[in-house]
Amino acid sequence: MFKKLYRIALISLLTCLCLADDMILNYGQYEVQLNSYSISGSQYFDTYKDKHPTQLNGQTHDYKQSGYSLGFRYGASATTTYVVKANWKSRELASYSSDGFHSYYLGVQLRRSAGIYHAFQWNIGYRGNGSYDEKDDLPLGSRASSWEATGSYVLSLNPFHGYSLFDVGYRFRGGDLSDEITFKSLISFSLTERFELQFQYDMHESKEHERETFRVLRYPNESGRQQAALNMKLLLGKRLFLEGSFQKVLKGRNVFQTDGFQIGMTWLL
């Protein structure tokens, strides 16, 4: 009897975790995700994390950024999921602007352990660059590609119909850019059978804490960011989700202080 209840609880948890953000899919399952975002701000944090107005030629301007991404995941086995993502970005500041293909990501997710109330997995991937032109006043990115490794731990919050997610990662960056340490925490609650509410905190920090002077028009080489977000997920059909997010940069190093929204859709096939 106990073994039967254990199996039921374990299957229920793994089914829930498959619907959690970026967790491993079931064997043979496909996921397609499309996201679009828009953020803006008129201040930035310098290399010492002090805040200043974004000024060019003595005038304050709003920095604007938008973009969209297309992602695909496939459950190759009960413990392995393959990931492919592509990102496009547009940037604008005063009379300067740039837009184009920003980056791509190729990765694999490996589940290492799972119990009734928890699961652990590794996320390993390569992030490459898309469009880049050193002559651009607002470059979309840097020439440096990177390898990324993240450990994810998920804990069920039953009987409260939710879960918590914790990520700790390391980004091996090429070129002259310093490696980065990343952290993510998320708490999710299912308020109804179709509606899920999430509270999220993200952080990344340059390992070497470079003291390079912040250059407004060379923004991609940011050295740190702390961001909070309120996420919502609505089940529209049997396997179709509508997702929305409001996010704000709280603190950072060589980064604009922005806020904005993201909206997307996810299909599980």
Among 159-163, 229-233, 256-260, the least confident range: 159-163
Of 198, 201, 188, nearest to 160 (Cα)?
Answer: 188
pLDDT attached to residue 210: 60
pLDDT attached to residue 98: 86
Architecture of domain 2-268: Beta Barrel (2.40)
The residue that leads in pLDDT, 95 or 85, is 85
Which tens digit of pLDDT belongs to each residue from 122-143? 999 999 987 666 567 777 776 6
Q: Is 95 helix (H, G, I), strand (E, B) or coil?
A: coil
Domain ranges of the chain: 2-268
The residue that leads in pLDDT, 178 or 233, is 233
Q: Residue 148 pLDDT more than 90?
A: yes
Distance CA 93, CA 56 (A): 9
Residue 241: how many CB atoms within 10 A of its CB?
19
Of 22, 268, 2, 26, nearest to 163 (Cα)?
Answer: 22
Average pLDDT value for residue range 254-268: 95
pLDDT attached to residue 87: 94
| Inter-residue long-range contacts of 21-24, CB under 8 Å, 24+ positions, other chains counted | 21/165, 21/186, 21/198, 22/109, 22/123, 22/152, 23/109, 23/119, 23/121, 23/152, 23/154, 23/165, 24/75, 24/79, 24/80, 24/81, 24/109, 24/110, 24/111, 24/121
Average pLDDT value for residue range 48-77: 92
Which residues, 6 or more positions from 85, have their beta carbon under 8 angstroms from its beta carbon? 69, 70, 71, 72, 104, 105
Residue written as token pair 């590609």? 145
Are the beta carbons of 22 and 184 closer than 8 angstroms? no
String of DSSP letters for 141-162: --S--EEEEEEEEEEE-TTSSE
pLDDT attached to residue 208: 75
